[in-house]
Structure 1
Amino acid sequence: MVSFEMNDRKSELQSYSEIGLGLTGFGIFFTFLGIIFFFDKGLLAMGNILFISGVSLSIGLKSTMQFFMKRQNFKGTISFGLGFFFVVIGWPIIGMILETYGFIVLFSGFWPTLAVFIQRIPILGWVFQLPFVRSLFDKYRGKRVPV
């Protein structure tokens, strides 16, 4: 008989990761709602807070700080931070433009991994396997960012 052993530390880390993914999903959802409701600054700010806290819980506080404080990520971190600041003070359109730029700069290394994942989804996969779409992701191939 095979016994499976699960200690408290492993289950605790797994639950933090699951909570983090949930918070990240709610952050994206609230940001989407904030954009739909004509750049509502309350929803956008809540979405940003949930997204950052979800990423922090998913990969850990230390890894999050290392990711955002890397020298090559400074431009994206500063842009995302300034965008968040502009959303909070009441300039949501300027803030979202800065946040979008920062998000693209920060997470551009993850696009190839995301493309491979999306290509395996039954309905969306054939769209991402078209030559035009694949050529968009080919320029980032080999630039994956370790977390």
Structure 2
Amino acid sequence: MWLSDRQKIGVGLVAAGVFLQFLAILLFFDRPLLALGNVSSCAPARPLTPQILFLTGLPLIIGPTRTFYFFSRREKWRGTVCFFGGIILVFAKWPKIGILVEFVGFIGLFGSFFPVVLQALRQIPVIGSFLSLPYIRQAADRLAGVRQSAV
């Protein structure tokens, strides 16, 4: 499957957003890291936070209409409210609470994708053999919510 140039830019933005989010959590919500994406260092600009990178990349990948329908589906309302509420809390300078609320929303929105991601990771050479080890396989299946059939 080939990606268009627009989709490649979207994948880059989403990947950068996820990486900066992970780095901000790893460094205990360091304020300079959250402001890392400033557009200009000499002009007082709002920080380009990882959430904005993620939210601008997603419509570039799947399109604006499908993004709107994804976030507005009835069964995803709770996840959508938590996700956007967490972003608002981060902007309101409560990053720790905001990230936690946003994480709950992320699980509510994208929780059904975890088994697909786990299956894709199992096909990567080194990671796949690691994820196939007996106890790690059981733990990964339990975390991803994969139902195991009785054989």
TM range (shorter): 0.7 to 0.9
Higher normalized helix content (fraction of residues): 1
- Is the 1:27–1:47 Cα contact (8 Å) retained in structure 2? yes
User: TM-score, length-normalised on structure 2?
Assistant: 0.77
Where in structure 1 do 4 or more consecutive aligned residues deviate above 2 Å?
A: 40-45, 126-131, 137-141
- 2:139 is aligned with 1:133: yes
1:118 aligns with 2:99: no
2:41 aligns with none
* Structure 1: runs of 5 or more not aligned: 1-10, 142-147
**TM-score in terms of structure 1 length:** 0.79
The residue aligned with 1:49 is 52
* Contact 2:78/2:105 (<8 A) preserved: yes
Q: CA RMSD in A?
A: 2.2
1:1-147 pair list within 5 angstroms: 14-39=4-29, 40=31, 41-42=34-35, 46-129=49-132, 130=134, 131-133=137-139, 135-136=141-142, 139-140=145-146
What percentage of aligned pairs have identical amino acids? 35
Q: CA deviation at 1:112?
A: 1.2
Say whether the 8 Å CA contact 2:114–2:144 is kept in structure 1.
no
Native 8 Å contact 1:68 1:77 kept in 2: yes
> Residue 144 of structure 1 aligns with which residue?
none
In the alignment, structure 2 segments of 5+ residues that lack a partner are 37-46
Q: How many residues align?
A: 130
CA distance in 2, matches of 1:23, 1:32: 14
